[in-house]
Amino acid sequence: MLLQIRQSLAKMAFLLRDANESTCQKKNPYEAEYSRILRKFDANYGIFGDGLKTLEEKQKRRDVIPIPLSSKKDIFAYCANRLYNSNL
């Protein structure tokens, strides 16, 4: 019981020191692992998983890029047209 109290107090002291701006560690313990996994994912699958798409899917996505529109009314009409006339 006494050991548990000491461990709890030690953890509380650590958290209070870490909450103070001048004494905190300012280090994310998971940053290195996250960066490594993200680089591996990007190498395998591309950004946002684009590497998983087939050539036809990539080509189709290029065809959907809209031309510049002049007003909000045109943008709304274009989006509504694409939404209601899509073959999803």
pLDDT tens profile 18-62:
787 777 767 777 889 999 998 998 888 887 777 787 878 777 765
Q: Cα(10)–Cα(12) distance, rounded to whole angstroms? A: 5
In a domain, 46, yes or no: no
In a domain, 1, yes or no: no
In 3-state terms the chain splits into helix, strand, coil percentages (rounded to 5) of: 70, 0, 30
Owning domain of residue 88: 54-88
Asked if residue 49 lies in contact with residue 42, where contact means CB atoms within 8 angstroms, the answer is no
42: its two tokens = 């990007």
Rounded to 5°, the CA angle 19-21-25 comes to 75
Number of domains in the chain: 1
In a domain, 45, yes or no: no
Q: What is the pTM of this model?
A: 0.38
18: left (phi over 0), alpha (psi -120 to 50) or beta: alpha
